[in-house]
Chains A and B, each alone.
Chain A
């Protein structure tokens, strides 16, 4: 038996033990057993002295190679064991990913403000600015300057809330914002004014408070055709590209000519259904060309300037779009309602 054979035998033995090793501890023991200062390889090499320098050199090479091989095997096995242990640890810490989560549940935006924003943003993108006014409004801004004199039947169309402050009312529409804007700014004027308005009314389709969006464009050479184009663009943005619009001459004191604007019913595509009460059309907003009396009231020359105005009820649009049966649902703050949207 030569030393070489002894070494090779040791290698085979180490290899076998490494394969069988189950943890880092066993590997450490194997390392000591074979590669330690008093390890078996060292023991074999002790008898090296008896050999010739060539043989010594030769055996030394073999011994080193075997040492490296065993070290390599140990390293690989250690890495393997670590991986296994990590895997086991991860598995032990595993989570049921279907468990209920643990974070703040995002809140819900109210449908009214959501729709209001959608509408206002469309007009902002067309170049309109946002204007505002108080909800307790001067009676003359709310009525007289809008060409609604006292004792005019049009005042009946809007049941007004009066307050303990002379000359003021709860605004019945957002139209007084037109007056405020025109009194403080010179044309060109392009504004939208969203806000709460108040009328003395209460049933499934009316609440004493609701939301309107007012629009006003005043400049030289603004015509009915611009009104039609602007509203068509806006309504197609809200209700879809295929929406057709219809302007029916109507009456509002502060516009002349005045129009009720209908859109084709999206439920039945104009065929007539329950939503549109068989008409195929849905009344959606009121509009018209600014009445010269209004221009005169705010000191704008109606011979030089013209303009259009429109006002739409936000609740009506929301009710149509989301099929909400009762307008009062908007104002209870009932989470069972709010969280549906």
Chain B
């Protein structure tokens, strides 16, 4: 809400500048800004039009004579709303309008000595139909800029938090400013005469309207508002329409009470305030027809709905230039109901915005009376207030709330004596008295939604006391229990490992679309967002590969073809979540010049391949203390099954890695030598108290790993023997390693040094084995015997194995 500062000053005698006020408002909790209204434009003057005639030579142009009281001007205009006696703003020769200097200008054989101005040309509206016609009470021959307050008037804009509906009007702001600066607010009470000649026939048939007051005013003359009303509305960002409509808007801004004026003569019979019928139709002032539901509150006559309570008036009963008699409505509706309706029908009005944030039910009659007073003043001498009906079944009972000095001390941290507490609250117009251990307040209706508990008043006290001035202290924090720090550290260590090994961290959206899942031949994820932003953000991913492939594609768009990225993030399933690390690797990871003895420098490139990726993962697992794991061929739809593996620790699948399937690569347009992997780091439960250390997660195994204990350093030397085996091709290297390892206690280390194919079905595997006995030096003879026994055991375990050489 934006209002002129001068309007606020009508309600509080304050001599501070708008800037000072705004600063204090911000410090005490209302977000406020200040700006100057427009810019002073020299050479603008108010003139009265003496005559208007059509331009004899030019279509659609008019020749006007206008006077400033001394001088008469000939003005050519295209606006057809200028009439004899209109008072308008004239930009004289030399005036700067939107960067253009007004000069004498010939239209045919006639000369124009200036230009009539619209609101748009003054920079006060985005569009305007025709010249701005000033009301008849406007003085003629005065400086237009000064009259409007251009470049002078300060406007204060307030952006409220949802609990401060009370500050959404001039009066409320004045109250707040008065409290801050400790100045009593002023207000002129109304005095209107209500005849009892025509009591409107209104009945209330819903519990969602707390108060409904209708007033009938006769013989209203619909015309433009006074200059003062128009200017206030324009400065507050509203467009003047006619006196009655302007006054309802004016009161809304000033008092915070939405009002609605019906053309009484268009209302058919009895008026009912009720819930809408399901499917009931309503043609609103915005020109749209809405279909209503039984939750909506409506005002209806015998022909149907004439207004959507608290939100928008109806087309059928709207006030127009022919209106004579009006019914002025002031009501208080249930804020939840208004909110629901406004949201469902997507209509937000100044009225609904205020109702949703709470309206002062108690000052409703006074606010409405102010409007009546203005209507009587501005809408003609013959008007009379024919009668009123105020339905207010359960009058407001102020809640009593105590504030204990002890609570203030416990929350804010300083001693504030009860007298001061009472003083602060009274300044806020919350009637408060002191009692033995604190204060007791009667909460006025305008804060009834916001102030419901002791703590709410404690905040008010601190706010006006000035939270910023209160000195800080530092709490003594109990020693942390390390419970989750260890996962935090685990994740950091994981991240560091991959970064140190040349992989770049990315963070991608957890959202994924159907398209990428189709391309990867994957079933759609469990979790679907029902109100997703776009189809690419429709699901919550259940793997990281889909996200990383999109990162690769994004980089390919920028011709970045070598890529090494990882992401640590969650994936989502119906009943749980997992934190995973995903990696995607493609292309060269080492490029450089190498030096050879023959003095030739040449470029080397090392490309990510299955074994490099395996090595990366293996050394990460080793870092975690996990050295015992098994690999099995992966059956993932998007991987090349011959170059990919699922990883098992203690029999549980902890992740996978491998090469992308060439068909998938082609479909999603990425390189075929792309490697992808995912490791499951941690189980994330949605249940309270569920043990998150589940099997199948690396963090679990990291936490469960045994602490190694010291073994004596070997005293006796180890002996190396090379062995070569001939086996069937179906026998894996790992199998041989495993069986070898199991076959002798003396084997300390086995390393592969050669492997080659003898024919299609047979291969030779050469290994180097380190033997060591911790008790003594091994003799050649002992080793020979050991090798014999090993080979014998191996032959039993592995069919077709032969020792070579």
Contact = CB atoms under 8 A, between A and B. Distances in A.
B504 A248 contact: no
A225 B455 contact: no
Interface string A227-270: 01110110000000000001111110000111100000000000
B413 interface: yes
8 contacts: A106-B499, A106-B500, A124-B480, A136-B577, A151-B336, A219-B475, A228-B472, A251-B164
Interface residues of A, number: 93
B528 interface: yes
A161 B532 contact: yes
B87 interface: no
B472 A117 contact: no
Instruction: Name the interface size band of chain B.
Output: 35 or more
Given A196-B570, A225-B470, A103 B590 contact: yes
Interface in A140-169: 151-154, 156-157, 161-165, 168
B511 interface: yes
Given A256-B459, A333-B565, A334-B558, A127 B480 contact: yes
CB-CB nearest 4 A-B residue pairs = A102-B592, A223-B413, A249-B29, A333-B551
A314 to B, nearest CB: 11
Contact of A135 (B459, B462, B577): B577
Chain A residues touching B, majority SS: mixed
Given A104-B590, A129-B482, A190-B480, A134 B508 contact: no
Contacts of A126: 477
B485 A333 contact: no
Interface string A190-212: 10000010101010000111000
Contacts of A247: 467-468
B161 interface: yes
A184 interface: yes
Interface of A: 92-93, 95, 99-110, 112-113, 117, 120, 124, 126-132, 134-138, 151-154, 156-157, 161-165, 168, 170, 180, 183-184, 188, 190, 196, 198, 200, 202, 207-209, 217, 219, 221-226, 228-230, 232-233, 246-251, 256-259, 289, 291-292, 306, 330-336, 338-339
Given A163-B530, A165-B574, A130 B463 contact: no
A331 to B, nearest CB: 6
A257 B467 contact: yes
A259 B462 CA distance: 11
B162 A153 contact: yes
Interface in B588-603: 589-595, 597, 599, 601
B750 interface: no
Interface string B452-488: 0101101100110001101111110111111111011
A121 to B, nearest CB: 9
A289 B470 CA distance: 15
Contacts of B704: none
B509 A219 contact: no
Chain B residues touching A, majority SS: mixed
A109 B568 CA distance: 11
B557 to A, nearest CB: 9
Given A134-B577, A257-B467, 17 more contacts: A93-B599, A113-B505, A117-B492, A129-B480, A130-B488, A153-B356, A161-B532, A165-B574, A209-B511, A217-B477, A224-B462, A247-B468, A248-B27, A292-B455, A333-B554, A333-B565, A338-B505
B593 A104 contact: no
Contacts of A188: 477-478
B530 A225 contact: no
B363 interface: no
Contacts of B508: 331, 333
B592 A103 contact: yes
B498 interface: yes
B234 interface: no
Given A129-B483, A219-B478, A333 B339 contact: no
